[in-house]
Structure 1
Amino acid sequence: MSLAYGKNRTVQLAPNVNRILLVKNLPFRITAEEMYDLFGKYGAIRQMRMGTEQKTQGTAFVVYEDIFDAKEACDHLQGFNVMGRYLVVLYYQSNHRAKRVDLSKEEERVAQLRRRYESMRKDDEDDLN
């Protein structure tokens, strides 16, 4: 349980706060046990995923059981120096992932909306006359 919030769990959190933390700028040689030691101080961890490929190395996802524990870990570990590297700890936002949009489908959708609103505008002009 989070020490900072105690038993008062009625505190309203910001909308971007969630149980999943994205950790960047990790030392490449940090072990899973060291990660559990570091992040486990703030509460029970449900899951931890560390990047293993060249593109994802130095990043990890840490999922806490409790949102207040995740908030405390994020607040305390942001900028924390681990093996000479300063951690970047963020709340994971799934809706901010880059979305690939099919340009032709999007253009067709816009054209349909224009036709619909043009016809509505003509109907409104006819009603006024």
Structure 2
Amino acid sequence: MSLAYGKNRTTQLPANVNRILLVKNLPFKITSEEIYDLFGKYGAIRQIRTGNEPKTRGTAFVVYEDIYDAKEACDHLQGFNVMGRYLVVLYYQINHRSKRTDLSKEEERVENLRRQYKSMNKDEEYDLN
């Protein structure tokens, strides 16, 4: 359990804070055990997932049991130097991924709004005369 927030765990955290941290710029040679040792200092860890694909190498997800432990780890390890690389530690934004929009649907929606706006302007012109 984290001592930094131990007395004040009733404070409201910002909306973007959650238990899942996205860690970027990890050295390619770092092991899951070394990541666990580094992040485990801040609280109980539920899961660590490291990137194995060429696109995801150097990244990991660290899931804490407690949100306050995740906040403390993010605050302390952001910019921390590990094997000559500075870590980028962010809160994983779950909703950000699910908000991808279909471009054709968005274009259709915009076109409908344009038509609606043009018809509103024509009505106003007729009302003014």
Q: Which runs of 5+ in 2 are unaligned?
A: none
- Could you say which residue in structure 2 is the equivalent of 1:93? 93
Q: Percent of aligned pairs with the same residue?
A: 80
- Within 2, Cα distance between the matches of 1:88 and 1:74? 9
Q: Secondary structure at the match of 1:41?
A: helix
- Could you say which residue in structure 2 is the equivalent of 1:106? 106
Q: Which runs of 5+ in 1 are unaligned?
A: none
- Within 2, Cα distance between the matches of 1:89 and 1:112? 41
TM-score (norm 1): 0.83
CA RMSD of aligned residues (A): 2.3
Q: CA deviation at 1:49?
A: 0.6
TM-score (norm 2): 0.83
- Could you say which residue in structure 1 is the equivalent of 2:75? 75
Q: Secondary structure at the match of 2:90?
A: strand
- Within 2, Cα distance between the matches of 1:73 and 1:86? 15
Q: CA deviation at 1:5?
A: 0.7
Matched ranges for 1:18-29 at <5 A: 18-29=18-29
Deviates more, 1:11-20 or 1:105-114: 105-114
The alignment covers a number of residue pairs equal to 128
- Within 1, Cα distance between the matches of 2:63 and 2:124? 54
